[in-house]
Amino acid sequence: IVGSPWSERVSGVFAYESSKVDWCEENYRHSEHVVEYFNTVSNLIFFIISPMMLYLLHPYARERHQAVHLVWLMMVFVGVFSLYFHMTLSFLGQMLDELSILWVLALGYALWFPRRRFPSFIKDRSFGRLVLIITALTTVSSFVKPTANAYVLNVFGLQLLYVLRMEMKQYALRLAKRMVALWVLAITCWISDRFGCAFWQELNFCYLHGIWHILIVMAVAYGTTLIAFLDASYEIPYSLPGIQYWPCDQWEVGLPHIVLKGNTKLRKEC
């Protein structure tokens, strides 16, 4: 088998720069082992924000269901795969990075898509199954034209913002505005890096994709808190959910989280 076309193809997917995707940052500028240094290092944000969000969403997850924690646990894997992708620019790294994003989005839909918006023929359980089937089919088709995957994911992201828009409530406006602002900044960086590279190279500033990593993780932190808050307001209104910011509520930037001011399982047990 060693040396056969099959083994060559398998080792090919691990090979440095075997992906057809290459971001604007100059390759091997800072290290001979790391293809895109800043794009790789910027993924550390996943390992800072994910444990913080796991901690901050814990009161809501305990009251609603522990599966909520899977979202930020999976975000750690997205961070690992994204780091591996930018370090190697390998085809395997690209697919792991993109497919892990797809499965986090699917998990988010399965957990939080509002039940009252289900079409009448769909029950709770069959919605989860439908999301699973669509995600599995999308996973298989992602190998057909891998360069298109990132665009498809951004379309799914847009659809997610549309769902949030439909569910929006006046009293969550501050959080929603901040989330949209972060997403707009993030997607502007992603598009500029993709299509405006020559311009940024002129300016000797090729770090926009790394900045996208930081901004999109913050947008997801705001987005998950917002959807969890709207969900809590409908499903567990007795817990009187509210939004606060860590470390200080008055600060313009901070990590949002839900506080439950009313009756909760824990208090009922006492």
Ligand X SMILES: CCCCCCCC/C=C\CCCCCCCC(=O)N[C@@H](CO)[C@H](O)/C=C/CCCCCCCCCCCCC
The answer to whether the beta carbons of residues 67 and 106 sit under 8 Å apart is no
Out of 7, 10, 14, 27, name the contact with Ca ion by CB under 5 A.
27
Query: Interaction with ligand X in 54-83: which residues (CB under 6 A)?
Result: 71, 78, 82
Among 211, 97, 227, 228, residue whose Cα is nearest residue 150: 97
- Alpha-carbon distance of 138 to 156, in angstroms, equals 11
CB of 142 to Zn ion, least distance (A): 16
Helix or strand or coil: residue 260?
strand
Residues binding Ca ion: number (CB under 5 A): 4
By the rule CB under 6 A, 112 interacts with ligand X:
yes
By the rule CB under 6 A, 109 interacts with ligand X:
yes
Q: Tell me the sheet residues that pair with 246.
A: 255
**Distance of alpha carbon 64 from its chain centroid, rounded?**
21
Helix or strand or coil: residue 243?
strand
Contacted by 153, from Zn ion, Ca ion, ligand X, none: CB < 5 to 8 Å by type? ligand X
Query: Interaction with Ca ion in 197-256: which residues (CB under 5 A)?
Result: none
Q: Which residue stretch of 118-126, 220-228, 232-240, 245-253 sits at the interface with ligand X (rule: CB under 6 A)?
A: 220-228
Out of 49, 57, 87, 105, name the contact with ligand X by CB under 6 A.
105
Among 32, 60, 20, 2, residue whose Cα is nearest residue 259: 60
Out of 60, 183, 207, 245, name the contact with ligand X by CB under 6 A.
183
The answer to whether the beta carbons of residues 22 and 85 sit under 8 Å apart is no
The answer to whether the beta carbons of residues 40 and 26 sit under 8 Å apart is no
Q: Tell me the sheet residues that pair with 53.
A: none
Site pattern 143..162 for ligand X (x: CB under 6 A) = -------x--xx--x--xx-
By the rule CB under 6 A, 97 interacts with ligand X:
yes
Residue ranges of the binding site for Zn(2+): 86, 209, 213
By the rule CB under 6 A, 163 interacts with ligand X:
yes
> DSSP secondary-structure letter at 145?
S
Q: Containing H/E element for 92?
A: helix 91-112
> DSSP secondary-structure letter at 241?
E
Residues engaged in binding Ca ion (CB under 5 A): 22-23, 25, 27
Residues engaged in binding ligand X (CB under 6 A): 71, 78, 82, 85, 97, 101, 104-105, 108-109, 112-113, 150, 153-154, 157, 160-161, 163, 183, 213, 216, 219-220, 223-224, 227
